[in-house]
Amino acid sequence: MARSRRGGKNGSERGSAEIRFVEAMGLYYEQFGMPRLAGRLFAWMLLADRPLPAEEIARALHVSRSSVSNALRPWLLGRLIEARSQPGDRRRYYILSPDVWTQAIRLRQEGLAPLRQLGESLLAALPASHPGRRRVQEMIEWADFMARVYEKALAEWSQRQKTAPPGKERGG
């Protein structure tokens, strides 16, 4: 049986551009404090044309099954990758969330309310003369500002999704 460069029989063969992309994404996410494998895994899922079991992901990325489980965790918690089941199969299958980019914006937006609450709680306890008070107030203002930015981004992204099918050039 001939294998395609896109997926092969088990999805483990990729063209050199795709392999470079997977490795570059690992380095990209690593610079933000995530494990390199988490970035590689996310890239692999971007390229996947079907839900994949962890064992297959492990083989494709040349890592252990437990490493895949650890690398999946932040993406599952953030709802950027979803776990699914298939009838008659006890394994879990993983796939990129169909609204991954919307979810990425929401994830960042959701993180702002707890940050704001932490700041407000601290301000209530700090004396007016405390040297850190101004910076904490600024953090709260920043959280409010970013919440508005993300709200606008969600609205604009939603509109973009409605105006053109995926993969087609959309307005700027």
Q: Which domains does the chain have, with CATH numbers?
A: 16-96 (1.10.10.10), 100-163 (1.10.287)
Check residue 1 and give its pLDDT.
Answer: 31
Long-range CB pairs of 62-69, under 8 A, 24+ apart, other chains included: 63/37, 67/37, 68/37, 68/41
State the Cα–Cα distance between residues 149 and 53, nearest whole angstrom.
36
In this predicted model, what pLDDT tens digit does every residue of 103-120 receive, in sequence order? Answer: 999 999 999 999 999 999
Q: How far is CA 29 from CA 24, 74, 120, in A?
A: 9, 12, 31
In the chain, % helix, strand, coil (3-state, to 5) comes to: 60, 10, 30
Q: Are 60 and 11 in contact (CB under 8 A)?
A: yes
- pLDDT, greater one: 28 or 171: 28
In this predicted model, what pLDDT tens digit does every residue of 124-137 receive, in sequence order? Answer: 999 999 999 999 99
pLDDT of residue 165 exceeding 80, the answer is no
In this predicted model, what pLDDT tens digit does every residue of 7-22 receive, in sequence order? Answer: 444 444 568 999 999 9
Residues near 54 by beta carbon (within 8 Å), at least 6 away in sequence: 65, 68, 69, 72, 91, 92, 94
- The helix (H) or strand (E) run that includes residue 115 is helix 112-125
State both tokens at 8: 């092969």
* pTM across the whole model: 0.81
Comparing CA positions, the residue from 45, 121, 119, 118 lying closest to residue 78 is 45
In this predicted model, what pLDDT tens digit does every residue of 60-91 receive, in sequence order? Answer: 999 999 999 999 999 999 999 999 999 999 99
State the Cα–Cα distance between residues 34 and 43, nearest whole angstrom.
13
